[in-house]
């Protein structure tokens, strides 16, 4: 993921990945980790089968074209480029695992940010769902489609704990049954087919998860559980970000520590381009459900960071260390990446630890969220264009990427995992294989007109008026509307700006009317202070609604 964020209220993503705990604690001793251990490859014989790569668009055999030779496959470039990870891959074979993308738990939203008084429209791949709280505060999830005339239920409202479609007023209770149709005669019964499809949801460790399969019962054993987040004293900062590129590109970015010193140069004190260096990686586990391993700086004696990817879209980066008091502390960066359609994704990012500096308690969380937005925006141009190229070229990433052993090991592992399970996804871009979307991406236009503009002004509908009409390139739409804390802060800044403007105007008028010189001076000074407050509020509002614009440093 590269990237982004102050994923912890007091520690940026860049800091965690490049100097993981440099200013997190004054002295630490990372847990020693030897760098020579056998790879543990879990083979699930009942779920996997070997097949010759007859359907692969590329193989690992000797180069047969000038293009292949130019990419270094017939030279010493294999010493620096990521190569085959198994004998099967070297022979041109690949492992295919039984996989169905619907039989997984997907992260929908942070529990704390689910609206209490409005439905929330969300997507998983191309499936549109609506999440809401019923009259008892229980989370419910339906297909986002009214059975009457296909209107989006997420555009509706909650009436006495029931979800009402705003097209004709049909109301549905928590199990998906229709309980009211205003147009139905008094003596008529509601048709049994007037019901909506429901999805099973679970809340776990502050995150709402949805089971997408309608063919199988939810597998509770598959529900992710994060040990560090359950440790005594563990505190985390969490945020939701909507992003304009595919979830696979987002995951690539998040598991790529090498880009941080360059792309996020000077975003904080630890990310500096002169600190870019080769990294070392050690894969310790490969399964049908993902991979894991250790990584660290190229000159490090130990590999202190442990990365794990778990299907379908969970990435964690953990580190243990001993503080100055001899107590073991734990730090985790957790990234939950939900596919929301072609070229779109939603990320729940959580950074936490069992200890943190006191200054973190004094800094408001919205400030760190906005800094996080800046980090994502620094990568947005690169990742959006990468998404476009993948869709345009229509070839596996092996034909397009030059993955270095010293920077891109996790990226190669992820794309090779997609080779194994991609056939069970709506579409995928693997290392050697590819399956394109069957249907072109749906372009959702922003509301237009006076009525639609007024409708979009409500926070649950995606904006605060036509200035913030739904647009994923806008910071407000990508993050603020998904975050109760940042939304409340923005509203407060607007209120204070208006109040201070009015007070300043009143004080200036009084200064003109009074005759005493001292009174004039006092009133004008007070008016100036109010104007300074107006400027501060304007700056903070701009921070919440304006994207980062990259300006190149001059050396």
Burial of 318 (0-12, 13-18, 19+ CB in 10 A): middle
Q: Which of 57-71, 202-216, 257-271 has the largest mean confidence?
A: 202-216
Residue 21 clears pLDDT 80, i.e. is over it:
no
User: Do residues 247 and 311 both lie within one domain?
Assistant: yes
pTM: 0.83
269: confidence class by pLDDT, cuts 50, 70, 90: low
pLDDT band at 473 (very low <50, low <70, confident <90, very high): low
On whether both 111 and 247 belong to a single domain, the answer is no
Cα of first residue to Cα of last residue in the chain, in angstroms, is 27
What pLDDT is stored for residue 164 in this prediction? Answer: 96
Helix ranges, 357-483 (H): 365-393, 409-421, 450-455, 475-478
Pairwise CA distance, residues 3 & 260, whole Å: 7
Range of the domain at 521: 483-554
**Residue 525, pLDDT score:** 96
Residue 115 has pLDDT above 90, yes or no: yes
Kindly give, in sequence order, each residue whose CB lies less than 8 Å from that of residue 276, ignoring residues fewer than 6 positions away: 258, 261, 262
pLDDT of residue 293: 96
Domain membership flag for residue 74: no
Statement to judge: residues 123 and 157 lie in one domain = yes
pLDDT at 472: 60
Q: In this predicted structure, what is the pLDDT of residue 212? A: 95
- Domain count within the chain: 3
Residue found by looking up tokens 């991406």 in the block: 441
Q: Which of 434, 5, 467, 84 has the alpha carbon at shortest distance from 246?
A: 434
For residue 136, tell me if it sits in a domain: yes
Cis? peptide before 312, omega within 30° of 0: yes
Residue 177 tokens read as 């049954």
Q: In terms of domains, do 195 and 234 share one? A: no
Q: Look at residue 238 and tell me if it is in a domain.
A: yes
What pLDDT is attached to residue 363? 87
Mapping DSSP to helix (H, G, I), strand (E, B) and coil, where does residue 280 land?
strand
Identify the residue whose tokens are 């000077």.
266
The residue whose two tokens read 């692969």 is 56
Cα separation of 173 and 177, whole Å? 6
**Tokens representing residue 533 in the block:** 């407050």
Judge whether 26 lies within some domain. Answer: no
Residues 6+ apart with CB under 8 A from 331: 16, 20, 21, 24, 228, 318, 319, 320, 321, 352, 353, 354
Does 445 fall in a domain? no
Residue 11 counted as domain residue: no
Beta strands in 199-344 (DSSP E): 200-204, 207-211, 235-243, 279-287, 290-297, 305-310, 314-322, 328-339
Residue 314 CB neighbour total at 10 angstroms:
22
Q: Are 196 and 145 in contact (CB under 8 A)?
A: yes
Do residue 235 and residue 182 come from a single domain?
no
* CATH code of the domain covering residue 200: 2.102.10.10
pLDDT for the residue 5: 33
Say if residue 144 is in the same domain as residue 183: yes
Residues 303 and 383 in one domain: yes
Any domain includes 442: no
What's the CATH number where 255 sits? 3.90.380.10
């Amino acid at each position: 993921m590269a990237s982004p964020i102050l994923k912890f209220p007091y520690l940026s993503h860049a800091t965690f990945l490049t100097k993981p705990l440099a200013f997190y604690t004054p002295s630490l001793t990372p847990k020693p980790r030897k760098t020579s251990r056998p790879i543990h490859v879990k083979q699930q014989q009942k779920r996997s089968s070997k097949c010759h790569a007859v359907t692969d668009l590329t193989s690992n055999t000797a180069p047969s074209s000038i293009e292949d030779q130019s990419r270094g496959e017939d030279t010493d470039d294999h010493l620096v480029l990521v190569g085959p990870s198994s004998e099967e891959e070297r022979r041109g074979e690949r492992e295919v695992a039984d996989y169905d993308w619907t039989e997984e738990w997907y992260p929908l939203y942070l529990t704390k940010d689910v609206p209490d008084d409005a439905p929330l429209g969300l997507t998983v791949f191309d499936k549109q769902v609506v999440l809401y709280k019923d009259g008892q505060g229980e989370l419910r999830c339906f297909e986002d489609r009214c059975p009457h005339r296909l209107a989006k239920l997420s555009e509706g409202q909650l009436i006495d704990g029931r979800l009402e479609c705003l097209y004709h007023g049909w109301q549905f209770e928590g199990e998906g049954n229709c309980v009211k149709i205003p147009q139905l005669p008094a003596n008529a019964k509601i048709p049994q087919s007037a019901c909506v499809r429901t999805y099973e949801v679970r809340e776990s460790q502050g995150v709402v998860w949805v089971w997408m399969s309608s063919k199988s019962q939810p597998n509770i054993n598959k529900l992710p559980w994060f040990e560090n987040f359950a440790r005594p004293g563990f505190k985390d900062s969490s945020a939701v970000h909507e992003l304009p590129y595919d979830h696979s590109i987002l995951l690539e970015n998040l598991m790529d520590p090498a880009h941080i010193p360059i792309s996020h140069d000077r975003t904080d004190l630890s990310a500096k381009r002169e600190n870019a260096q080769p990294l070392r990686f050690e894969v310790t586990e490969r399964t049908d459900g993902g991979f894991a391993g250790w990584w660290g700086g190229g000159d490090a004696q130990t590999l202190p960071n442990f990365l794990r990817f778990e299907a379908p879209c969970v990435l964690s980066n953990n580190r243990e260390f001993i503080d100055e008091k001899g107590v073991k502390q734990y730090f985790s960066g957790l990234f939950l990446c939900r596919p929301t359609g072609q070229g779109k994704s939603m990320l729940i990012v959580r950074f936490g630890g069992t200890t943190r500096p006191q200054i973190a308690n004094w800094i408001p969380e919205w400030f760190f969220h906005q800094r996080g937005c800046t980090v994502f925006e620094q990568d947005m141009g690169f990742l959006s264009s990468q998404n476009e190229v993948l869709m345009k070229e229509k070839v596996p990433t092996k034909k397009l990427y030059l993955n270095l052993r010293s920077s891109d090991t996790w990226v190669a592992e992820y794309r090779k995992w997609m080779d194994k399970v991609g056939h069970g996804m709506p579409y995928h871009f693997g290392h050697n294989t590819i399956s394109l979307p069957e249907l072109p991406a749906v372009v959702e236009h922003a509301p237009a007109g006076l009525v639609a503009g007024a409708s979009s002004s409500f926070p649950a509908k995606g904006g605060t008026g036509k200035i913030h009409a739904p647009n994923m390139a806008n910071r407000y739409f990508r993050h603020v509307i998904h975050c109760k804390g940042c939304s409340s802060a923005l509203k407060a800044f607007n209120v204070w700006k208006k109040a201070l403007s009015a007070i300043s105007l009143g004080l200036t008028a009084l200064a003109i009317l009074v005759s005493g010189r001292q009174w004039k001076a006092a009133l004008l000074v007070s008016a100036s202070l109010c104007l300074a407050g107006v400027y501060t509020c304007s700056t903070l509002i701009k921070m919440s609604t304006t994207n980062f614009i990259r300006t190149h440093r001059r050396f």
